[in-house]
Structure 1
Amino acid sequence: MLETHSFHFRLSELLQRINALLPQERTIEATPPDEAKLRGLLSDLSPLITAFSAIGNADDIWSVVGLERNEVRTARVLTWLLDPRGSHGARATYFKTLWQNIPEQRRPFELGTVLRATRETVPIGDGQNRVDIEVEGDDFIVIIEVKIDAVEGLNQLSRYVSVAKAKATVRGKSKFAVLFLTPGRPLTLPQHCVHVSWLDISRAIKQTLKANPSESMGAHLASSFADHIRSL
Structure 2
Amino acid sequence: MTKITYNNFHDQLASFFEQWPAGVCKEKSNSKISFKSSDLNIFFQQLNSVINTTLHSALSFNPWEISGLKHNEIRNSAILSWLLTPNGSHGFNKTPLLTLLNLLGSSSQYDFPNDFKKFCHVDNEVNLNGNMANRADIQIRADNFFILIEVKINAKEQEQQISRYCEEAEKAAHGLPWAIIYLTPDGRKPTSNCDKYSDAHILCLSWKSLSISLSAALQPYYQQLFTEQPHSPMRQFAALSTFLFIEQMQNF
Partner of 1:220 in structure 2?
A: 240
Partner of 1:98 in structure 2?
A: 100
Residue 134, structure 1, aligned to residue 134, structure 2: no
1:231/1:23 Cα in 2 relative to 1: closer, same or farther (>3 Å)?
Answer: farther
Deviations 1:132-152 (A, max 9, x none): 000111111100000001111
Q: TM-score normalised to the size of structure 2?
A: 0.64
Distance 1:23 1:65 in 2: 49
Q: TM-score normalised to the size of structure 1?
A: 0.69
1:220/1:154 Cα in 2 relative to 1: closer, same or farther (>3 Å)?
Answer: same
Aligned residues: 183
Question: 5+ unaligned residues in a row in structure 2: which ranges?
Answer: 1-19, 26-54, 226-235
Question: 5+ unaligned residues in a row in structure 1: which ranges?
Answer: 1-19, 26-51
Secondary structure at the counterpart of residue 121 of structure 2: strand
Structure 2 counterpart of 1:118, one-letter code: D
Partner of 1:207 in structure 2?
A: 216
Distance 1:130 1:115 in 2: 20
CA drift of 1:56 comes to 5.2
Higher relative contact order (Cα pairs below 8 Å, separated by 6+ residues): 2
Partner of 1:83 in structure 2?
A: 85
Partner of 2:124 in structure 1?
A: 119
Structure 2 counterpart of 1:227, one-letter code: E
Alpha-carbon contact 1:177-1:193 (below 8 Å) kept: yes
Secondary structure at the counterpart of residue 104 of structure 1: helix
CA drift of 1:196 comes to 0.9
CA drift of 1:21 comes to 6.0
CA RMSD of the aligned region, Å? 2.7
1:40-59 alignment to 2 at 5 Å?
Answer: 57-58=60-61
* Amino-acid identity (%): 28
Secondary structure at the counterpart of residue 125 of structure 2: strand
Alpha-carbon contact 1:131-1:143 (below 8 Å) kept: yes
2:163 to 158, 164, 172: 158
Structure 1 counterpart of 2:211, one-letter code: S
Structure 1 counterpart of 2:106, one-letter code: E
Query: Rg bigger for which structure?
Result: 2
